[in-house]
Structure 1
Amino acid sequence: MKTQVKTSRMDIGRLVAAPVFALLLFFSARGLLGGLSSLFPLDAAKALLLVHRLLIVAFYVLIVVLYFMRTAASSTTRSIPARSIAVGASFLPFAIPLAGGASDASPVVMLGANVIMASGMAFALAALFALGRSFSIIPQTRSLVMHGPYRLVRHPLYLGELVTVAGFVLAGVAPAKVLIFVLLAACQVYRALQEEKLLAAMFPEYEGYASRTPRLLPGVF
């Protein structure tokens, strides 16, 4: 069965997903401004938390901008599960705050969690910059990106998101949060595999790139 199809000129993501991310941007920016007073006076943990929140706002800004700048897709997956899991995985992290787990971790643990969250978000933002006009949620092809974080792993955006969510889990460990993280990791691996099918079919040079670049974890996977 074919895994790809030529995409129509209408950009559904621009019509549907862009407004959703614009709404997330609004709430993130409002939350950042509304919570500024609670972050002062700054200490190391609060400074990292502030950086993380700023990075989230920048992340959503860039996504909205890229939806209106991106080029037309040259191919898109036909798989309904691939489309559904891609969309679901994009919003699954929002279930973390609803999964319980007291945020009464020690200052050292909270500092570590904030370091992880800020680092993951910074890496994801760098990956999004590198991806540029080739950004999409569902598996599609536009261009083969091999620079920036893509020199290190084939799916740095997913890696950055997983690291960020791991920080959230660490800040208030609960079984449900761990389960959500495991489910998210499985979904991201599935997304990566589906995207690779399209990229390998569209770009002959992808095989060489994949042979020298790990998928998500250097030396592991």
Structure 2
Amino acid sequence: MSANATPSFSPTEIDLPKFKRQVWEMCTNIVLAAFFFRFAWIQGEAFFTWYRLSTFLILVKVSTDVFFYLIRKPPQQVSFSLYDWTVGLMGTYAVILFMPAGHTHDSLFGQIVQCTGLGLQIFAMASLNRSIGVVAANRGIKTGGMYRWVRHPLYLSYVVAFGGYLINQTSYWNAGVYAACILLWLLRIMAEERLLTQDDNYREYTQRVRWKLIPGLV
């Protein structure tokens, strides 16, 4: 070997930033699953006590959320802002604070609203595929499906679905949780927009789709 030769090694190379992100995503998934398991237990217990459709629908809705969160794909770009993470986590977990209001009867209107919200969610999830996330991130720009009408259709489905739940499970507590959730969803939208508008494709998309949440309103 030459005296000037540099020794060569062939250890398994690890992309440390990517590895840290994967570990963080895994930890987030575990915490998410644990919190929503508690929520599912409470709502499931209420359903088998009073057999109200509203509790079953909200259980299906949140279970669908959790499934897609657990299989979400890694982001191309993610925010490391403490504010964005706080808003993202609170906006994700706040829904587990909804509580069954007791053994009153569901209204037909409330059930229709909940079913509409669940339908919108399924459509939005299909449009989003595996690009759902907890914190503001770029997992690829989506422009098809429901994204042809609003830029954040999943949040629209949340507003409708949990609004229907509030109609059926009316209480001051649930009304306060719903108001807090809407505020957090709006803050999440603002955080996501700040990150996504760094992408030229997204800025072009915002010129074509004006509405962020509700067509003709927001």
Common topology (TM > 0.5) = yes
Identity %: 17
Q: Does 1:9 align with 2:18?
A: yes
The SS at the match of 2:78 is strand
**2:133 maps to what in 1?**
136
1:122–1:8 distance in 2 versus 1, CA, 3 Å = farther
In angstroms, what is the RMSD of aligned CA positions?
Answer: 3.0
Q: Give the Cα–Cα distance (whole angstroms) in 2 for the partners of residues 50 and 177 of structure 1.
A: 17
**Equivalent runs, 1:11-160 vs 2, <5 Å:** 11-23=22-34, 24=36, 28=40, 35=47, 39=51, 46=53, 50=56, 53-66=59-72, 70-71=73-74, 73-97=75-99, 101=101, 104=104, 110-160=107-157
Matching of residues 166-177 of structure 1 within 5 Å = 166-177=163-174
Query: Which deviations, in whole Å up to 9, do the C-alpha atoms of 1:190-215 show, x marking residues without a partner?
Result: 1111111111102x122232133210
How far apart, in 1, do the equivalents of 2:64 and 2:215 lie? Answer: 27
CA-CA distance at 1:8 after TM superposition: 2.5
Amino acid at match of 1:167: G
Length-normalised TM-score, structure 1:
0.75
Matched residue count: 199
Contact between 1:120 and 1:160, CA under 8 Å: does it hold in 2?
Answer: yes
- Residues of 2 paired with 1:216 and 1:92: CA distance? 19
CA contact (8 A) 1:128 1:157 kept: yes
SS of alignment partner, residue 8 of structure 1: helix
Q: TM-score, normalised by structure 2?
A: 0.76
Q: Which structure dedicates a bigger proportion of its chain to helix?
A: 1
Q: CA deviation at 1:172?
A: 3.0
Number of the residue aligned with 1:200 = 197
CA distance in 2, matches of 1:139, 1:18: 16
Cα distance change of structure 1 residues 115 and 17 upon mapping to structure 2, 3 Å threshold: farther
Q: CA deviation at 1:51?
A: 5.3
Report if the CA contact (8 A) 2:57-2:114 is conserved: no
SS at match of 2:110: helix
Go from structure 1 to structure 2 and tell me whether the alpha carbon gap of 1:111 and 1:189 turns closer, same or farther (over 3 Å shift): same
Deviations 1:148-186 (A, max 9, x none): 111121111111112111112111323332222222111
Summarize deviations over 1:103-151 as a string: whole Å, max 9, x none: 535x5xx221122122212322322232223221100112101111111
Letter in 1 for 2:121: A
CA distance, structure 2, for counterparts of residue 102 and residue 62 of structure 1: 30
Encode CA deviations 1:82-110: one digit per residue, 9 max, x unaligned: 11011001111111217xx55535x5xx2
Aligned counterparts of 1:148 and 1:34: Cα–Cα separation in 2: 35
